[in-house]
Amino acid sequence: MSFSRNQHIPKYCGSCWAHATTSAFADRLNIQNKNKFPQAALSPQVLLNCLGGGTCHGGDLLGAYKFG
C-alpha cells in the first residue's frame, strides 16, 4: 500500500479528491507488483496543476482517472 499524506499541511486545500485518486491508483499498482521496490507514489499535485479533474476547491475522481 502507498503511504499516507496530509492535504492540510501547511495550509488547507480541498484536494482530497486528488489525494484519494492517486492513493487508490498507487495502491493498485503496488498490489499488482507484489509490493516490490520501488513502490508507486503518484503525485496529486500533477492533477491540480494540470486541471486533471479539479482544483484545490474540489474535483472529480472520474475526471482524474480520465486524465491519467
Return the half-sphere exposure (C-beta side, CA atoms, 13 A cut-off) of residue 40: 17
Whole-model pTM: value is: 0.79
For 2-59, write each residue's pLDDT tens digit: 777 777 777 788 888 898 899 999 999 999 999 899 888 888 989 989 988 898 888 9
- The full set of domain ranges for the chain reads 16-67
Q: How wide is the angle at C-alpha 13 spanned by C-alphas 10 and 15, nearest 5°?
A: 125
